[in-house]
């Protein structure tokens, strides 16, 4: 079976082909959507397809939307077992001394990782960002190197981080498209949504103090289906917002950079969401982790067959009213020789549109199938004899 390897950029190009009339949508977007901001981007979460763009690759300051990457690295570290949400982190003098948005950490006091991440997601706490950065990388500077490396992995080509907070510092920039890519990676983690949907909560300090945290993402209340998001503001960046909203199975991501005031940024994001839900429909034909109908037979193992699952989802974004036929075709080995490891690639699932391949995902073995032990081989041989 022939394998096709694609870079992140190639996947995005391929994803764009899933949208009927994608080129027309891009050229007409300026007329169809009025977003009062310096730059904006609208993306379908499931397919990564661009639905609207305005100066999407222009390098601009993004203020506290920078914290999307800070949160992403921390939650990924927790998923990898490198960080525990219950672990206590001692706030350094530098972390406690950060200005701007903060929860007023006390230098030398201990806070749980869960507390710190929640304060970053809810009230954009700069002091908590630095405390997390120092815990994960030893210093904010070293953490920024990790932020930049992860951005490149995500295909964020116009992003450079100089700190983990988004406070003004040169050189530091990103763009609307890159912010969408970062938020897309973050919203794949349910832990982030647990934090981001909190509207009001008290932050308790070990010394008995309490700081009230208020979520600045007003779309949580004002826009039906808004799940989460990250605001940002500095005089340099203007008013910014990266948010996601869901209607049915369709989830979209909108990014707004450089609106003139807070009310305008929320209006711009709402307009982008309305445009997406009014004009497009997203359909999933194979879900991530879904088993295909037939298991794979295994020879040389006491485990006679293993289930096969899709590594990633296969879906398509279509303009409402268009008629297209999509089917999923599997290319899979029907028989394997032991040993087989869980997660081992055993085939591919292809999404076909009118007979033409538009996307694919690996098919993975769902369980281990080790070779016969000596006794199992003897018993099997005796049975066959």
Q: pLDDT digit string (tens) for 283-324?
A: 889 988 999 878 999 888 888 899 999 998 898 888 888 878
Q: What is the CATH number of the domain that holds 347?
A: 2.60.410.10
Q: In angstroms, how far apart are the furthest CA atoms of the chain?
A: 82
Q: Are residues 275 and 291 in the same domain?
A: no
Domain span including residue 106? 12-283
Q: What is the CATH number of the domain that holds 17?
A: 3.40.710.10
Nearest partner of 158 among 53, 69, 60, judged by Cα: 60
Calpha distance 310→318 (Å, rounded): 22
Q: Which of 268, 283, 298 is the last residue of a domain?
A: 283
Calpha distance 315→337 (Å, rounded): 32
pTM of the model: 0.82
Calpha distance 302→306 (Å, rounded): 11
Mean pLDDT of 171-175: 97
The verdict on residue 6 lying in a domain is no
Residue-level pLDDT at 127 = 98
Token output for 274: 């309305």
Q: What is the pLDDT of residues 219-250, one digit of tens each?
A: 999 999 999 999 999 999 999 999 999 999 89
Question: Could you give the percent of the chain with pLDDT greater than 90?
Answer: 72
Residue-level pLDDT at 14 = 35
Confidence category of residue 26, pLDDT binned at 50, 70, 90: very low
Domain count, the chain: 2
Q: Which of 283, 304, 332 is the last residue of a domain?
A: 283
**Catalytic member of 29, 38, 54, 67:** 67
All residues at 6 or more sequence positions from 311 whose CB lies less than 8 Å from its CB, including other chains: 288, 345, 361, 362, 363, 364
DSSP for residue 40:
E
**Catalytic member of 29, 38, 54, 64:** 64
Our answer to whether residue 67 is catalytic in this structure is yes
Mean pLDDT of 80-107: 96
Distances (CA, A) of 161 to 63, 98, 122, 164, 213: 11, 17, 21, 7, 26
Select the highest-mean-pLDDT range: 13-22, 129-138, 314-323.
129-138
The verdict on residue 1 lying in a domain is no
Nearest partner of 106 among 80, 69, 87, 131, judged by Cα: 131
Mean pLDDT of 79-83: 96
Our answer to whether residue 64 is catalytic in this structure is yes
**Catalytic member of 29, 101, 119, 124:** 124
Q: Are residues 291 and 279 in the same domain?
A: no
Q: What share of the chain is helix, strand, coil (3-state, %, to 5)?
A: 35, 30, 35
Q: Which of 283, 306, 324 is the last residue of a domain?
A: 283
């Amino acid at each position: 079976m022939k394998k096709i390897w694609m870079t992140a950029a190639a996947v995005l190009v391929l994803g764009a082909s899933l949208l009927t009339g994608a080129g027309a949508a891009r050229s007409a977007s300026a007329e169809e959507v009025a977003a009062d901001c310096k730059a904006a981007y609208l993306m379908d979460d499931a397919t990564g397809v661009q639905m609207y763009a305005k100066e999407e690759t222009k390098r601009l300051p993004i203020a506290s939307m920078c914290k999307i990457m800070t949160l992403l690295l921390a939650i990924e570290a927790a998923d990898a077992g490198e960080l525990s949400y219950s672990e206590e982190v001692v706030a350094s003098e530098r972390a406690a001394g950060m200005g701007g948005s903060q929860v007023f950490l006390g230098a030398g006091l201990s806070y749980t990782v869960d507390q710190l991440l929640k304060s970053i997601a809810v009230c954009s706490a700069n002091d908590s960002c630095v405390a997390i950065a120092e815990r994960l990388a030893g210093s904010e500077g070293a953490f920024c190197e990790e932020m930049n490396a992860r951005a490149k992995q995500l295909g964020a080509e116009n992003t450079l981080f100089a700190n983990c907070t988004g406070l003004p510092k040169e050189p530091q920039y990103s763009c609307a498209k890159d912010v969408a890519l970062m938020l897309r990676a973050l919203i794949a983690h349910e832990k982030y949504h647990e934090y981001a949907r909190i509207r009001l909560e008290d932050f308790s300090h070990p010394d008995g103090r309490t700081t009230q945290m208020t979520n600045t993402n007003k779309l949580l209340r004002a826009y039906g289906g808004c799940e989460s998001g990250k605001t940002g503001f500095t005089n340099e960046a203007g008013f910014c917002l990266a948010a996601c909203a869901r209607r049915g199975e369709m989830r979209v991501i909108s990014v707004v950079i450089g609106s003139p005031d807070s009310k305008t940024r929320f209006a711009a994001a709402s307009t982008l969401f309305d445009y997406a839900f009014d004009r497009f429909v997203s359909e999933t034909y194979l879900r991530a982790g879904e088993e295909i109908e037939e298991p794979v037979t295994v020879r040389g193992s006491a485990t006679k067959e293993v289930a096969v699952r899709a590594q990633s989802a296969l879906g398509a974004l279509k303009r409402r009213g268009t008629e297209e036929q999509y089917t999923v075709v599997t290319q899979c080995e029907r028989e394997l020789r032991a040993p087989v490891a869980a997660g081992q690639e055993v085939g591919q699932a292809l999404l076909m549109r009118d007979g033409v391949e538009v996307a694919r995902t690996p098919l993975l073995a769902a369980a281990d199938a080790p070779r016969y032990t000596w006794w199992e081989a003897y018993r099997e041989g005796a049975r066959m004899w």
